[in-house]
Amino acid sequence: MKRIAVLTSGGDAPGMNAAVRSVVRSSINRGLEVYGISYGYLGLIRGDIKKMSLSDVGDIIQRGGTSLHSARCPEFKDESVQEIAVKILKEYHIEGLVVIGGDGTFRGATALENHGIKTIAIPATIDNDIPITESSIGFDSALNTVIEAVDRIRDTATSHERTFIIEVMGRDSGMLALYSGLGSGAESVLIPEEPYDFEKITSKIKRGMERGKAHSIILVAEGVMSAEECSKLLSKELDIETRISVLGHIQRGGRPSAKDRILASRFGHEAVTLLLNDYSGEMVYLKNNTISHVSYDTVLSEKKELDTSLIEIINELSI
Ligand code: ADP
């Protein structure tokens, strides 16, 4: 293998830049030519491709987002569009492709595999909803961002003795809400994976009020309901003033955490090693602080396990 390429696709996540840097520098330092494809699969079918040098990825390890940009490209599900991508990769003599993204991105890579293109995937999503890997690039950074935001909200919640309902990202996955709930000391967390018991939430607030505690933090993953809906439901049950906060896109942005930079650097390095050793159709993953790899088929057929026993800990620790 002489020439490979790298792209970022789907939702951006802090640490994607560190992964691109790692892929580019690991490749060049091992004698490969490496091309950067901008705007994910959309850039691939448009031929938005350029050769990368060591310095092209300088000064990006600390930046959030992705300097290669990302884009949604729904038409990539079409066979005819995939064939355009294959043609372009062949024109550029690109023999291997590293894709950085979430499960949608891996489906795109699977399609390329079916057309004979060698690909390796790096999991990157703030939702951390990719099975098998303990962590995906971006999760730790987003978690820290959410916890910092909740800390700030808690200051005002305590001062004004209010109940705050904070909406956290996570349409199908409650991992971010669950971990940030535990890390920020929230009173209750609502996630899509677990049926919620509103009665329990309101009686906890009531018990707190009876003891003189006048503020509470409730985290709700956006997939369950909006903070506004949650506030309306709560107001029906309790005569308290609530405030809502929708954290929104601040959760995606910002400097990647140390953990994400290190993970991204390790994943990128491993992805290049795998291509050089003739592996393809595999995702790199982290388990017990060791990097390994697993086939796309396995990743895409499994469901991420969420440790819902953490909810019990949240309930026990919040009084
Ligand atoms: P993520 O990678 O973060 O899950 P998306 O689900 O948006 O994000 O997927 C990223 C891109 O991957 C899509 O815009 C599309 O180009 C490609 N993709 C997603 N699903 C498929 C599929 N079934 N077949 C081919 N390409 C796909």
- What is the SS3 assignment for 165-227? EEEECCCCCCHHHHHHHHHHCCCEEECCCCCCCHHHHHHHHHHHHHCCCCCEEEEEECCCCCH
**What are the backbone angles phi and psi of residue 210, rounded to the nearest 5°?**
-65, -30
Residue nearest to atom 20 of ligand 1 (CA): 104
Whole-model pTM above 0.85?
yes
Residue 140 among the catalytic residues: no
* Closest to 3 in 3D by CA, of 75, 78, 102, 98: 98
What is the structure's pLDDT at 245?
97
For residue 75, the model assigns a pLDDT of: 98
Which segments in the chain show pLDDT lower than 50? none
Ligand-binding site membership of 125 (annotated): yes
pLDDT digits 0-9 by tens, 25-45: 999 999 999 999 999 999 999
Task: Give pLDDT, residue 227.
Answer: 98
Q: Which residues line ligand 1 (CB under 6 A)?
A: 9-11, 41, 72-74, 76-77, 101-105, 107-108, 111, 125
**pLDDT for residue 212:** 81
* Distance, C-alpha 56 to centroid of its chain: 24
Of 228, 205, 203, the closest CA to residue 216 belongs to 205
In this structure, which residue's CA is closest to atom 26 in ligand 1? Answer: 108
CB count in 10 Å sphere of residue 38: 19
